[in-house]
Amino acid sequence: MDTNNTSSLTGFGAGKVILLGEHSVVYGYPALAGPLSRGVTARGEPSSKCQLVIPDALMTEQRKVLKAAFARAMAACGEPGVKVSFDTDLPLSMGLGSSGALSVACSRVLLQAAGRKASASEVAAVAWEMEQEFHGTPSGVDHTTSAMEQLILYRRKPGAEQGRAKVVDSPKPLKLVVVMAGARSPTKQTVGALRERQKRWTERYQRIFREIGLLASEGAEAVEEGDLEALGDVMNVNHGLLAALGLSSPGLDDMVHRLRNMGALGAKLTGAGGDGGAVIGLFHDTGPAVHELTRLGIRCFDSQLAGPRAEGTRGAA
Ligand code: MEV
């Protein structure tokens, strides 16, 4: 075991938003995703054995999954002598990539403790071990976005070991309002239920996945051209198709319409969706919407995904 170089280790894993293409990305179509400034910070201190401090608040099942996930990452790094703890400013279980962010944060600390170079791809490879334990059959978009910390068009062909990510440059800042629109079921469950529907009605579901994949590519082009109106329109259409796949809820739909009425260029659910989760709205100026939502007691924050960095983050999550 390596007990060197562990006196002050920290690793950050960014949360993520999927702008376009959740769920269909699991079936090999592209998704457009970017990092949030919020995320998970892991810290490492020297220890005689490699271990993770599991927060007391977690339920038995969650503790088991987390332990198993960490064991895989730890094995991938040769079990360096480090005790890893973490904290987060990301709303949990909202479809904002908290497990991907945790996987990336822990992987960064483990790799540092093992004295290995922590390039984005090496971090992503270790984080992938954890993500598979958390999600069963993830596409890999969450932890890849977190590890790369850039806006990416991500695609993983079914059966392929690795996904491919292309960085998407935006000449304009992408200003989003992120709203927490109610508790939701675990991603694994929502993805699994959709898998059952698509097994039964494969042609119909594949048609919709294909269309969503096209939207993600069109959205990436709109970003590169700085055409925010077009990007907003693609987001709106994507939300409609996610609803058609049975992935929205009255609460999510209501929030999508609210954001559009507040001037969003486009709004949609983000992440797994289902019976709750997060909704995003694309705005020229996020200030008035964040102000109004906060006044109404609705949990939200704003985030800039690409282009020149904006000032701080408003709102409370
Ligand atoms: C979850 O953030 C995104 C999903 O597409 C699942 C995945 O890509 O693994 C719903």
| Ligand 1 within 6 A of CB of 91 | no
Could you state, in chain order, the average pLDDT of each consecutive group of 10 residues for the chain (317 residues)?
A: 62 97 97 96 96 92 94 97 96 91 98 93 96 90 96 92 93 96 87 96 98 98 98 98 97 98 98 95 98 97 75 54
Interval between CA 240 and ligand 1 midpoint (Å)? 17
Q: Which atom of ligand 1 is nearest to the CA of 191?
A: 10
| Ligand 1 within 6 A of CB of 272 | yes
The predicted structure's pLDDT at residue 7: 63
| Ligand 1 within 6 A of CB of 131 | no
Give the CA distances from residue 69 to residues 107, 114, 227, 263, in Å, rounded to whole numbers and listed in that order.
Answer: 11, 18, 40, 41
User: What's the CA gap between 68 and 65, in Å, rounded?
Assistant: 5
Interval between CA 22 and ligand 1 midpoint (Å)? 5
Residue 50: which of 33, 67, 31 has the closest Cα? Answer: 67
User: What's the CA gap between 270 and 248, in Å, rounded?
Assistant: 10
Collapsing DSSP to helix, strand or coil, 177 comes out as strand
Tokens of 1: 């075991």
Domains of the chain with bracketed CATH: 9-167 (3.30.230.10), 175-304 (3.30.70.890)
| Ligand 1 within 6 A of CB of 139 | yes
The predicted structure's pLDDT at residue 183: 84
| Ligand 1 within 6 A of CB of 142 | yes
Task: Give the type of residue at 137.
Answer: T
Please answer whether residues 154 and 31 qualify as being in contact, where contact means their C-beta atoms are separated by less than 8 angstroms.
yes
Nearby residues of 201 by Cβ (< 8 Å), 6 or more positions away: none
Q: Which atom of ligand 1 is nearest to the CA of 190?
A: 10
| Helix boundaries (H) for 77-140 | 98-113, 120-135
| Ligand 1 within 6 A of CB of 273 | no
Residue nearest atom 8 in ligand 1 by C-alpha distance: 139
Q: Which residue has the tokens 């994949």?
A: 213
